Each structure stands twice: as C-alpha cells, then as structure tokens.
Amino acid sequence: MNEKIENEKKDTENEDDDSDFIIDFTTSSAINRISLKFLVVYIPIFWFSGLAVATFWYGYTISTVPWIIKLLFLPLILLGFSFLFIFTCFFFSKLLLIFINLIHLPKEGIFRTEKGDTDFEFWRLRTEIKKITLWLLRNWPLPWIDVIAFRWFGIKMDFSSHLNDAWCDAEFISFGKNVTVGQGAVIMSSMVVGNYLIIKKIRFDDYALIGGQSTIAPGTHFGEDTVLGAVSVTTLNQKLEAGWIYSGIPARKLKPNKYAEMRRDIIQKVDVDGEEKVETEHEVNIDDDKKHLVKRGNGGDNK
C-alpha cells in the first residue's frame, strides 16, 4: 500500500512538473492520415488544366503550316505545353485555395489533431492542394520558377533568395533578401506533436544562411547575417541573434559572424578605388590562435 501511495505521489509530482510539456525537440511536418477525399480535389485540377493543353494541341494539329516547320518547333511547343499545364494547375489550385481560405482563415496556434478540429482539417486540405503544383514546378526543367509558386501560395520572398534544394512548407514563412538555404534542409512552419498540431510563423532576415541538412522548427526567427551550420536543429520558437554563427542540436552560439563584416568591407573597397592597386595583403578572417598553421603551410619561414 505504501508503495502505491508513493507511486501516486510521484505521479502527481510529475503532473505538476511543466518540464514534461515543454517542446524542446523537433519532429516532422509531413501530413498524417491521408484520406481518399483528396482525390476529389486532384482530379478536377488535372482535368481542367489538361483541357487547356488539349485545346492548344488541337490548334497545333489542324494548322496549315508545312509539316517540317511543325516538327522543327515541336520541342519548343512541348515545353510550352508542359508550362501551360503547370500554370493552369497552379491557377486552379490557387482558385480553390482562395475559396477555402474564405471559408476558414489559416491561423497560427495550437490545435488538436482530431477529425472534428476545423483548423487541422483545413491545414491538411491546404497542404494537399499546394503539393501538386509545387511538385510539378519543382520537377520542371526550369526549377528557378518555383519561387513564383511559393510567392503565390503566401510565402513572402523574392528571387534573390532560393530554397530549391530544401523541403519547405508553403505558408507562414517570410524571407528577407539574399537568404540561402542549403541542400536537404527542412523548413517547417507546422509540426505535429502527439495529439497537437503547432503552427507558427518563421522569419528569415536579410543575408541569413542555413546549412545543409539542418532542420528549422516553427516559430524560429533568424536575425540579419545569422548563419546556421550544417546538421543543426532549431527548437520551437527559438530566436537566433543577428550576426552570430549557430550550430548543434539544438542550435547554440558558436562565434560572432565576422565573415559577413569582411565581405562587405571588400565590396566597398572595390567599389571606391577600383583602379588603385591594393598593396596590403588580404586579411583572412582566421582565429588568432590558428594563424600559425597557415604560415607554416606557406613554407615555414617563421621556424
């Protein structure tokens, strides 16, 4: 009996302890519970956008241009058709999204992953609708264009930053200028933990740099000139200070980002005195305690 009471006491203590509920880990944002309902969304999008291509193809077949010229321009026309297909897919999915967003506005916050929860259901629907167009555009021979798709679906970004080689959610993310995202990185503004769905906005300021294979959890805020090393993970709601290099699981401060300052100095010098010869050596931004390694490499004069 005494043991039981003790166990109960321990349990109550655990319940009161909030550290169990702190989300200091990161999982994935892939959709769970795929249902066949999405077929209803996919087939009309496919059909209508296919119709647009079919009408153009019909025009191509009945035109009276000599066949040799037709054949000559066939590759170009096929490329055009594929783009037309993608663009109309894009158009119809955007139209559907607008309707869905009128019914239910996308929201940040914590929701339950149950069938009754409207926020959860609409989140699934939105991601599924976006998936098809993004997939098509990213597999197209001109993959730079996926920035347009991301912009239309509600990510704030311009052509100076790119995320072509990363998994990325298509809502609640805003990019500054010249943001670089590494290969295989995962950027997710939504995350499912147990029975709960968490959606929070991610912000990247100018010149942020994300290393390869790193994972970015919802609510992360990157300051200006912040670097996140490869194979590192941010936790929920983490704020990364401007001008620092972070790395590790979870991401911790490594050292101030002096590379960014150096880069700008060099650019300014070139702009101002472009014709003058620079006689001083370029200062390489290496830590003081490691400079001797470089000198030794040059021939060992200091020995």
Partner 1 sequence: MSTPNSMRVGPFCASVLVKKKYLILYIFLIWISLLPAILEIWWYWQMLWVDERPLHFYIFLPLFLFVIYVSTVFAAIFFTKILLLIISIFHKPREGTFLRDPGDKDYRYWSLRNTIKKWPTWLAHKFPFPFLDNICFKAFGVKTKLSNSLFEGWVDTEFIEFGKNVVIGQGAIIQSSVIIGNFLIIRKTVIEENVRVGAHVIIMPGTHIGKNCILNTWSSTMVGQELKEGWIYNGSPAKEFKKNRFFEDIPIEKLTKTIGDMDGLLKKYDETRVARVTKKRKSLKRKDKEENTTEEKGLK
Q: Between residue 126 and residue 155, which ones bind partner 1 under the rule CB under 8 A?
A: 127, 130-132, 134-136, 138-139, 143, 146
Could you give the CA distance from residue 238 to residue 218 in angstroms, rounded to a whole number? 9
Residue 184 or 206: the one with the smaller Cβ distance to partner 1 is 184
Nearest distance from C-beta of residue 51 to partner 1, angstroms: 6
Residue 23 or 260: the one with the smaller Cβ distance to partner 1 is 23
Residue 27 or 174: the one with the smaller Cβ distance to partner 1 is 27
Is residue 213 involved in binding partner 1 (CB under 8 A)?
Answer: yes
Helix, coil or strand: residue 37: coil
Is residue 168 involved in binding partner 1 (CB under 8 A)?
Answer: yes
Is residue 188 involved in binding partner 1 (CB under 8 A)?
Answer: yes
DSSP secondary structure, 258-293, as one string:
HHHHHHHHHHHHHHHSSSS---SPP-----GGGHHH
Of the candidates 7, 22, 79, 118, which one interacts with partner 1 according to CB under 8 A?
22
Is residue 257 involved in binding partner 1 (CB under 8 A)?
Answer: no
Is residue 81 involved in binding partner 1 (CB under 8 A)?
Answer: no
Count of chain residues binding partner 1 (CB under 8 A): 74
**231 touches 214 (CB < 8 A):** yes
Of the candidates 80, 184, 229, 243, which one interacts with partner 1 according to CB under 8 A?
184
Q: Which helix (H) or strand (E) holds 73?
A: none
**208 touches 121 (CB < 8 A):** no
Nearest distance from C-beta of residue 279 to partner 1, angstroms: 44
Nearest distance from C-beta of residue 15 to partner 1, angstroms: 9
Residue 28 or 268: the one with the smaller Cβ distance to partner 1 is 28
Of the candidates 100, 231, 242, 262, which one interacts with partner 1 according to CB under 8 A?
231
Is residue 36 involved in binding partner 1 (CB under 8 A)?
Answer: yes
Residue 19 or 63: the one with the smaller Cβ distance to partner 1 is 19
Sign of CA dihedral 204, 209, 211, 212: positive
Residue 128 or 206: the one with the smaller Cβ distance to partner 1 is 128
Q: Choose the binding region for partner 1 from 68-76, 124-132, 203-211, 266-274 (rule: CB under 8 A).
A: 124-132
Of the candidates 7, 9, 11, 51, which one interacts with partner 1 according to CB under 8 A?
51
Helix, coil or strand: residue 5: helix
Residue 53 or 262: the one with the smaller Cβ distance to partner 1 is 53
b/e map 98-109, b = 16+ CB within 10 Å? eebeeeeeeebe
Nearest to 236 by CA among 207, 195, 199, 181: 199
Which residue type is seen at 7?
A: N
Nearest to 170 by CA among 119, 138, 131: 131
CA distances from 203 to 25, 80, 169, 189 (A): 19, 35, 13, 10
Q: Choose the binding region for partner 1 from 92-100, 202-210, 228-236, 276-284 (rule: CB under 8 A).
A: 228-236
Is residue 161 involved in binding partner 1 (CB under 8 A)?
Answer: no
Is residue 268 involved in binding partner 1 (CB under 8 A)?
Answer: no
Is residue 12 involved in binding partner 1 (CB under 8 A)?
Answer: no
**232 touches 253 (CB < 8 A):** no
* 196-199, strands of its sheet edge to edge: 109-112, 196-199, 190-193
Could you give the CA distance from residue 298 to residue 289 in angstroms, rounded to a whole number? 17
